[in-house]
Amino acid sequence: MKVKQLILATAGAMAVLALAGCSFGDAASKVPPTATGSLESLAAKAKCKPAIQTDTDTIRQAICTNSDGKFVLVTFSTDRGQREWINEAKDYGGYYLVGRKWVADGSKDLVTNLRGTLGGDIEIGTDHHAHGG
């Protein structure tokens, strides 16, 4: 009888933790505050030298390569411009690390690793298996 009570108490405690949004070994607790700044400052934090592809008043985009691989780093002048870009880009699939007025686009592993440096939230695009040519 005491074993059954212990099991029920343990299960109840785990349910309370789950409902509270806690988990054992929560990786999110290792995410730093979301980085801010220019494309160059974000690239420096990500340990890459940006190869600028687009440089306008509203959007700056660069190809970056660091020890984890190659990714696209984009900064925006407005939150709305950023959200419009993300919504359109997500139609093509992919993984996006999203910060305040910036996005890093790369592989799942690269984006996950980059999050440990830049913070932010990961968004996943829609996976279209078949595209018309």
Q: How many residues does the chain have?
A: 133
Count structural domains, the chain: 2
pLDDT at 27 over 50: no
Domain that holds residue 8: 1-30
Assess whether 50 and 90 both reside in one domain: yes
Assess whether 5 and 25 both reside in one domain: yes
Residue 121 has what pLDDT? 97
Alpha carbon distance 33, 30 (integer Å):
10
Assess whether 25 and 40 both reside in one domain: no
130 part of a folded domain:
no
Assess whether 66 and 104 both reside in one domain: yes
Assess whether 56 and 116 both reside in one domain: yes
Assess whether 63 and 3 both reside in one domain: no
Assess whether 60 and 95 both reside in one domain: yes
Confidence band (pLDDT; 50, 70, 90) for 126?
Answer: confident
Q: What is the mean pLDDT of the chain?
A: 81
Assess whether 41 and 75 both reside in one domain: yes
Assess whether 1 and 55 both reside in one domain: no
Assess whether 78 and 107 both reside in one domain: yes
Confidence band (pLDDT; 50, 70, 90) for 32?
Answer: very high
Selected residue with higher pLDDT from 82 and 130: 82
Q: Bridge-partner residues for 99, per DSSP? A: 102
DSSP string, the chain: -HHHHHHHHHHHHHHHHHHTT--TT-GGGGPPPPP-S-HHHHHHHTT---EEEEE-SSEEEEEEEETTEEEEEEEESSHHHHHHHHHHHGGG--EEEEETTEEEEE-HHHHHHHHHHH--EEEE----S----
Assess whether 12 and 72 both reside in one domain: no
129 part of a folded domain:
no
Alpha carbon distance 133, 117 (integer Å):
38
* Residue type at 108 in one-letter notation: K
59 part of a folded domain:
yes
Query: What single DSSP character describes residue 68?
Result: T
The pTM of this model reads: 0.73
